[in-house]
Structure 1
């Protein structure tokens, strides 16, 4: 919901840093993998019950996720780079809820499973729309220059990062927050399906 509004504010700084990193000879894919490593470190700390300590690598991983595209734009963007980025993102987004379940299976198991299912459905609606958009040569830069077509929704990257931060700050409320956020993910997926129906139902 907020991604399109945030991009014009953060892109100039990210692009400037991306040019510096590219001059150092660091590739966009290396930044992507560093972001994944930091995200998985955060998840491991959450699973061990070290919720406060998990915040720093979590935020650094999302910074790397923003920088990899900037580095790619400053050097040589590739289709594989975009593919690697979205795959690592999905791994990170699944690892954090799993970590909270592992930290307290009894209290968090059902809510965590519901949250992961909602991520699965929401991700499928996002990727399916992207495939159709590519097929029909649609493009958008509202959420920055992307390899894939990004559709808007009630919950996007900024909201998910904020949600993960809130979970680390208030881990005892995981179950309640997971049920609510998961329900909103289903709303986001349903709205995207309706949008796809309006846009593509008469196209081959």
Structure 2
């Protein structure tokens, strides 16, 4: 829901940084690897009992996630780069709830529910992207992407905000996860209804 507004703010500085990195020979895939490594490091820090400290690698990983696309736009985009980027995003999104589940047994059920809703929401996102590609549908509303980006109630901006919140308030992981997971299901249902309208 907030990705369009967020892209308008962050794309100009990211594009400048991306051009600077590209000029120094840094590749988009290398930035993606760094971002994924930082995201997994954040999950490890959470699992080891320091969610607050995990914010540093977590936010750095999301910066890298924005920079890899900027570097690609400054050089040349590849299908593998787009695939690797979304693959890395989903690994990161799954690792954080898993880390909270490891952190405390009382987090296990809400973490499992959250992962289920991420799975459902991710399927609604990627399944729509496949059908949109088949039909030649395109949009750049959320920035230039390698695949069709179907908007929804919860997108990347909201998810990162949620991750920051649960790192700051780890004792509230359970109730916050039930709420966020329910909203993920609302998002997936809305995408399904939208697909029913556009793809039939």
TM-score w.r.t. length of structure 1: 0.97
1:103 lines up with 2:103 in the alignment? yes
2:114 corresponds in structure 1 to 115
C-alpha deviation, 1:24, in angstroms: 1.1
Matched, 1:68 2:68: yes
Q: CA deviation at 1:3?
A: 0.2
Instruction: Quote the residue 1:165 is aligned against.
Output: 164
Query: Displacement of 1:14 after TM fit?
Result: 0.5
Q: Which moved more, 1:33-42 or 1:5-14?
A: 5-14
Cα shift at 1:10: 1.1
| RMSD after superposition | 0.5
Runs of 4 or more consecutive aligned structure 1 residues displaced over 3 Å after TM superposition: none
- 1:115-138 deviation per Cα after TM superposition (whole angstroms, max 9, x unaligned): 000000000000000001100001
Q: Which residue is equivalent to 2:174? A: 175
1:154 aligned onto 2:153 = yes
Equivalent residue for 2:51?
A: 51
Number of equivalences: 200
Corresponding position of 1:200 = 199
Runs of 5+ consecutive residues of structure 2 not aligned to the other structure: none
Q: Deviations over 1:156-183 (max 9, x none)?
A: 0000000000000000000000000000
- Gaps of at least 5 residues in structure 1 are none
Residue of structure 1 equivalent to 2:35:
35
Q: TM-score, normalised by structure 2?
A: 0.99
- The aligned residue for residue 4 of structure 1 is 4
Alpha-carbon distance in 2 for matches of 1:22, 1:126: 30
